[in-house]
Structure 1
Amino acid sequence: MGLKYREPSVCQWLKGHVPREAVRPVILEALARRLHRPVTHAEAGFPPPSQRSNTCPSMVDGLVDLGRHDMDPSRRGIVGAGLFSVALTVPNWPDVLGRMEAVQSGRALRMGSAEVDMVVAMTERLSELDDQFGGRHARPMAAAFLVNTVAPYLRAEAPESVRKAMLSATADLCYLTGYMAVDEGHHGLAQQYYLKALQLAGAAEDHLTYCTTLRGMSVQAVDLGHGRTALRLGDAAAAAAPQAGPRMRAFLAGQQAHAAASTGDRGRALTHLRDAETAMEKAESRSKPFGSYDPSALNYHLGQVCYELGDIAGSVSALERSDQLRYDVFRRTRVRYRAMLAERQLEIGHLEAACHTWNLALDDYPLVQSGRTDQRMAAMCRRIRPHLRQHAARDLYERARTVVPARLLARQP
């Protein structure tokens, strides 16, 4: 039976009376059609739907709310203020597998494989922009795309195979957007995107994106100094990928090695590192824009394991090999890791080599908009100041003053 509501009911709603739960989706649909954009329960002032976790309305609403706040310049500082949580509850694969109900149908929109292909292609382009220019400008575009284009597709009519393909594509996009939030230092926000990616990947029965996201969460944790949390997440990623191919095994084992080394577990770190090296030897050419692994990344992990275990010279050698093997398209990574290499060269007393490497990082730095590269440049300026009597250090510092923003030059430890 159809629902009919007249002006008195609307007046009651405007006075603060919340309509019955069964009616709320109808109201949201009417508002969405009039405004030509998704409208969530929170925006309309309704409480969250009292449904089982991971059902479609609540998941899509959460995705829209998260993305809309992130793409709004007036709120980005607020959503970015969330803190990284080591106590975050991460759903296990059996908990998210297939838990999303059938997509809520919307007669105004249908979805086919062409729409899925478009989301996949857009995610690849955003990933390329992030690699080359950093995430500062790409993340608002990703958030806007999630809200305005992808979320309505998740409510559209579609065959089951197409629906799952769209869920998988959306999970990939959420993972990438979370990674870009990490790049800006918005770690609480990144965790929210990562959790959405896990939920969507589980609903899509997409093992690859689920494991890639857990691994990304492990990378975030170890970089913030939470070694045990990083190891737990890295181990969970590996455990959830029993049928992974050799490149994926290397991808996961390399991160497990870094996380184990950060806890001081030398034996476990070296075992995982050998597993990564063995798997890489079996791997074929890289095929995905992210979630892939190559010899440069493996040498980076070797460098991190060496450094965590106290072998700074070994770390320098591994990072030098990583830099030589890195693809040119990964400009942001090149700036960040060259700066890291220079810091370690300085630690072992190789001042001129460090200055040379920092100069290489400065070559690309103006083209990159990234919080993590900004942090490395600020660290460079702090570390080089005690050596300004040396010709190489003085020249580097003078060049930095023309390239690095003044706010970073003045930043104190």
Structure 2
Amino acid sequence: MDPSRRSVLGAGLFSVALTVPDWQDVVGRLEEVKKNPRTRIGQSEVNAVRSMTERLSDLDDDFGGRYARPMAAAFLVNTVGPYLNAEASSETRDSMLSAAAFLCYLTGWMAVDEGAHGRAQQYYVKALQLSGAGRDHHTYCHVLRGMSVQAANLGHGTPAARLANAAAESAPESTPRMRAFISGQQAHAYALANEKTNALNSLREAERAVNQAESQPGTFGGFSSATLAYSTAEVRYALGDVKGSVESLRDHFLLRDSTDSKRSEIKFSALLAQRQLEIGHLEAACATWGFVLDEYPNIHSGRIDEHVKKIAPLLRPYRSNSTAREVYERSREVAAI
């Protein structure tokens, strides 16, 4: 079965009116499934799904969602689906539902990176349902936060704030790093919704939480000082402070470490170049775009594709400058490949 076919999850379009189930509507519930009495699973199968999810996440980070999502979707359909139908103890079943929920969320995240936003929303809603059925409050909140990121990146500030607030309101007792993870997203969403006071208050809460965090960022849901600098850049930009956003993005790159993905490095570099150009730093923007074009052939990401397509139109007015003209021509060649 081809997991990318519409019969699995249709692509569709992003919907700001998407119905998001509340925790109480999904906790412990799932449509009755037909059990396969010939198959029984245990903790080893749960561990296998979790390990595969981590590996798929690494592939997504390094090569992009267009590369990794077909593998994730195939694993969901061909392996995880039958596991959910298998006989299991109550504890194992909840654990498998939780593992499936997070894999479904990750697959939605990959679909966002492809630019398949309607498909991503459907994966996210299924992840909410699975996490509720498995009584996994942490993943439920994580998915809501991811849905807010998607809405924010598409410029829908009010829905993004609603989803980020839902994540915060439904969060169980959490660590400082998890509070920062949610507060940072609330700050960006509020800024896009023109709620400056709430945006700045949420950003300060994220900063306090990062300073209180003692554990190292995990594979999923990590929020570090570098992430805080990026969130600050997004808040500043949304509030009209382009120069401040450039400064915060520079801080982000100074704070990055080996846990940060190659894709985010390319994406944030593209944002930096666009904003450097906005404040009149043409040579700096061209240098930053040069790095983006160097790395672009190694990534399979719809989001990065869109950033690269913007380079030539943005540089067209500056072709009298030899450096700008060189990057302009190069971007046109790369984008055409």
TM-score by length of 1: 0.78
Once the 2 structures are TM-superposed, how far is the Cα of residue 398 of structure 1 from its aligned partner? 3.4
Matching residue within 209, 228, 248 for 2:139 = 209
After superposition, residues 267-306 of structure 1 pair within 5 angstroms as 267-306=197-236
Which of structures 1 and 2 has the bigger CA Rg?
A: 1
Q: Per-residue CA shift, 1:56-92, capped at 9, x if unaligned?
A: xxxxxxxxxxxx56434xx59x932x01111111011
Alignment-derived partner of residue 161 in structure 1: 91
Aligned positions of 1:61-80 closer than 5 A: 70-72=3-5, 79-80=10-11
CA contact (8 A) 2:217 2:223 kept: no
| Greater RCO, CA 8 A, separation 6+ | 2
* Structure 1 CA distance for aligned equivalents of residues 109 and 115 of structure 2: 10
CA contact (8 A) 2:183 2:202 kept: yes
Q: Structure 1 stretch 387-396 or stretch 168-177: which is displaced more?
A: 387-396
- The answer to whether the 8 A contact 1:103-1:157 is kept is no
Could you tell me how far 1:226 is from its partner in structure 2? 1.2
> What is the alpha-carbon distance in structure 1 between the residues aligned to residue 326 and residue 31 of structure 2?
62
Q: Which residue in the other structure is 2:313 paired with?
A: 382
CA distance in 2, matches of 1:360, 1:174: 33
CA displacement at 1:293 relative to structure 2: 1.3
Answer whether contact 1:286 1:293 (CA < 8 A) is retained.
no
The amino acid of 1:361's aligned partner reads V
Question: Does residue 1:130 correspond to 2:130, yes or no?
Answer: no
The amino acid of 2:325's aligned partner reads R
CA contact (8 A) 2:104 2:123 kept: yes
* Residue 38 (structure 2) aligns with: 108
Q: Which amino acid aligns with 1:365?
A: Y
SS state at 1:108 partner: strand
For residue 315 of structure 2, what is the amino acid of its counterpart? I
Alignment partner, residue 189 of structure 1: 119
- Distance in 2 (alpha carbons) for counterparts of 1:406 and 1:93: 46
Alpha-carbon contact 2:312-2:329 (below 8 Å) kept? no
Question: What is the rounded CA distance, in whole Å, between the counterparts of 1:254 and 1:350 in structure 2?
Answer: 28
State the Cα RMSD in Å. 1.8
Inter-partner Cα distance in structure 1 for 2:252 and 2:204: 17
Instruction: Name the SS for the 2:39 alignment partner.
Output: coil
User: 1:363 matched to which residue of 2?
Assistant: 294
Q: CA deviation at 1:401?
A: 4.2
> Which residue in 1 is equivalent to 2:331?
400
SS in structure 1 at match of 2:37: coil
Show the counterpart of 1:218. 148
Query: Which among 125, 145, 148 is matched to residue 78 of structure 2?
Result: 148
Q: State the number of aligned residues.
A: 336
Sequence identity (%):
56
**Matching residue within 172, 183, 186 for 2:102:** 172
Corresponding position of 1:244:
174
The two structures have a TM-score, normalised by structure 2, of 0.95
- Give the residue type in structure 2 aligned to 1:243: E
Confirm or deny: 8 A CA contact 2:40 2:86 kept in the other structure: yes
Which amino acid is 2:4 matched to? M
Q: 1:320 to 1:194 in 2, by over 3 A?
A: same
Alignment pair present for 1:233 and 2:163: yes
Q: Give the C-alpha shift of residue 313 in structure 1.
A: 0.6
* CA distance in structure 1 between the aligned counterparts of 2:216 and 2:306, rounded to whole angstroms: 30
Matched ranges for 1:81-92 at <5 A: 82-92=12-22
What do the CA deviations read for 1:172-224 (whole angstroms, capped 9, x no partner)?
10000001111111111000000000001111111111111000100111111
Unaligned 5+ residue runs, structure 1?
A: 1-67, 408-413
Match of 2:25 in 1: 95
Q: Displacement, 1:138?
A: 0.8
Gaps of 5+ in 2: none
Matched with 1:38 is none
Q: State the alpha-carbon separation in 2 of the partners of residues 113 and 174 from structure 1.
A: 19
Cα deviation digits, residues 309-348 of structure 1 (max 9, x gap): 1111100010111122223451111111100110000000
